[in-house]
Amino acid sequence: MDGCMNGTIRGGQLDRSRQVALQVHEILRDRILKVQLVPGTILSRASLQLEFGVSQTPVRDALMRLQEEDIVEVYPQYATVVAKIDIDHARQAQFLRLSIELEAVRRLTEEAPGETAKELGAILARQKEVATQETYDTFDGIDREFHRKLYEKSGILQLWANVRRQSVHLDRLRRLNLPMPGKMQTVLDDHEAIVAAIASGNPEAAASALRKHLSGTLSIIDLISAEYPDYIRK
């Protein structure tokens, strides 16, 4: 994986025109979802204050937000620790995404197949390009862009933020899965099938391709658990 996998906290620049606590939360959340801060990493408030050049209050508020999202565990008077990945939460997030995105692709095959396929195809072309460089962070970011486009073109973009909030454990599993041999090519093949099905106006083919795609990570959960046993909540 690119990025830091040993839990080390790296510096970040804050925009003083924006709410500081929100930015600290966004930076830490991003590191956790990319598994740069691995499960079990201790987040020192003093170290975070020093890194970001802020007082205790915004750091405390940021950690409270992360606790509400169930991706850190706070032990009063002791420490804040990056939470392990909860498989049950990941399964529920997958169910949510399937429920929404299956209906989205069916709708798109009927309402705007040509336009949607063209826009998704442009995103896929960029994803193919970065896949050759094994830049996992960029590849994963384009993957989210691809799926966000499904929400946008279906007229349900407001649901995207809700799905993202519910997907923190699933996202971390996906991030662990991504560097495994053949995974990036599988993602590209799945996206290709989704685009082709939408372009052809075939709702059942689009739904089938999407279902296969979204089921990929959880279908090998035992393999991921064996590779990273200390990261999974039993």
Question: What HEC string does 48-96 produce?
Answer: HHHHHCCCHHHHHHHHHHHHHCCCEEEECCCEEEECCEEHHHHHHHHHH
* CB-CB contact of 93 with 166 (8 Å): yes
- The pLDDT, as a whole number, for residue 163 is 97
86-233: which CATH architecture? Up-down Bundle (1.20)
Strand, coil or helix: what is 42? strand
Pair of tokens at residue 188: 């590209």
- The pLDDT, as a whole number, for residue 11 is 43
Note the pTM of the prediction, 2 decimals: 0.88
- The pLDDT, as a whole number, for residue 17 is 74
- pLDDT of 101-139, one tens digit each? 999 999 999 999 999 999 999 999 999 999 988 789 999
Residue ranges of domains in the chain: 20-83, 86-233
- pLDDT of 33-43, one tens digit each? 999 999 999 99
- Whether residue 89 is predicted with pLDDT greater than 60 in this model: the reply is yes
The band of 69, judged by pLDDT with boundaries at 50, 70 and 90, is: very high
Find the mean pLDDT for residues 197-216. 97
Fold of the domain spanning 20-83: Arc Repressor Mutant, subunit A (1.10.10)
- The pLDDT, as a whole number, for residue 33 is 96
- The pLDDT, as a whole number, for residue 12 is 52
Residue that is written with structure tokens 């991504």 in the block: 178
